[in-house]
Chain A
């Protein structure tokens, strides 16, 4: 943790993550072909969120950086969630 500058991620970690990401992509394509309704939207977005967590943590090194970066990212995501919530409350109950 102290010398995160010198942290080297092995090549194969990236390849494992890539295999997982491609599998998830194909899964989400397959799922959206089968299911119908609002469940599809939820599942597709859940898979997208799951995929992005790997991109952020491994590819973008968040897992190995100072925690400040992760906290700042969480803050940004929370801001977005709050804005989405407020916007939809407005449209649903107007």
Chain B
């Protein structure tokens, strides 16, 4: 007689649910990208000049930080599948640190703008005209919403870390780690488009 209680688990459904949530996120940011492209189309000169004020080195560093953090969390899934719990925890730890580094960079970047009195609704910005108001409005909203996703992702990953530590997530049951990874990759994916649109195309 098999006396072990059977706990029902459906990893495929769990992942499907996560993907459908990610689709709504893609549509949310997709909508914002459409708003951006229309305003850019209508105010090409102002967008061109305003984008020049963003720091490409900081943007590039942040892009690379996110790419590496995506890689480490993807590798942690391989580690957990190979029963290398310590390595998985180390890789996730690196992901969390890199996520924090991204936010620190963002803090200095935004701080610089605020010091120059550039923020949504600022009188200095209003004097520069409608195009600049739109560009910085979108810049602060989209990078801010993205940073909010980074914070949510970090909290999600921290919870996952403690679950791995307590063996709630292990080589046999790691769909939650996969889902947190999917979320983190989505955040990376959005940045892959935000970076050229705001920093590079000037």
Per the bound structure, the CA–CA distance linking A60 and B78 in Å amounts to 12
Residues in A neighbouring B195, C-beta threshold 8 A: 25, 48
List CB contacts (< 8 Å) of A1-29 with chain B: 5-6, 8-11, 14-15, 17-18, 21-22, 25-26, 28-29
Kindly state whether residue B11 has any CB partner on chain A within 8 Å. yes
Q: A9-B78, A25-B60, A73-B23 are in contact. Are A32 and B196 (CB under 8 A)?
A: yes
Contact B67 A48 (CB under 8 A): no
Closest 10 CB pairs of A and B: A44-B196, A32-B200, A18-B71, A80-B30, A59-B74, A8-B81, A76-B23, A59-B185, A21-B67, A60-B185
Q: Chain A nearest CB: distance from B191 CB in Å?
A: 10
* A contact residues vs B (CB 8 Å cutoff): 5-6, 8-11, 14-15, 17-18, 21-22, 25-26, 28-29, 32, 40-41, 44-45, 47-48, 51-52, 55-56, 58-61, 65-66, 68-69, 72-73, 76, 79-80, 83-84, 87-88, 91
Contact B196 A55 (CB under 8 A): no
Per the bound structure, the CA–CA distance linking A90 and B18 in Å amounts to 34
Contact B34 A56 (CB under 8 A): no
- With beta carbons under 8 angstroms apart, the residue of B38, B74, B188 that contacts A14 is B74
- The secondary-structure label for the interface of chain B is helix
Contact B185 A87 (CB under 8 A): no
Count CB-based A-B contacts (< 8 Å): 107
Q: A25-B64, A48-B196 are in contact. Are A84 and B27 (CB under 8 A)?
A: no
Kindly state whether residue B19 has any CB partner on chain A within 8 Å. yes
- The secondary-structure label for the interface of chain A is helix
Contact B193 A48 (CB under 8 A): yes
* B contact residues vs A (CB 8 Å cutoff): 11-12, 15-16, 19-20, 23, 26-27, 30-31, 34, 37-38, 41-42, 56, 60, 63-64, 67-68, 70-71, 74-75, 77-78, 81-82, 178, 181-182, 185-186, 188-189, 192-193, 195-197, 200-202
Q: A10-B78, A91-B38 are in contact. Are A59 and B71 (CB under 8 A)?
A: yes
Contact B64 A8 (CB under 8 A): no
Q: A58-B74, A61-B178 are in contact. Are A48 and B192 (CB under 8 A)?
A: yes
Q: In this complex, which of B19, B75, B189, B200 has the most chain A Cβ atoms within 10 angstroms of its Cβ?
A: B200
Per the bound structure, the CA–CA distance linking A42 and B66 in Å amounts to 23
Contact A69 B192 (CB under 8 A): no
Contact A5 B11 (CB under 8 A): yes
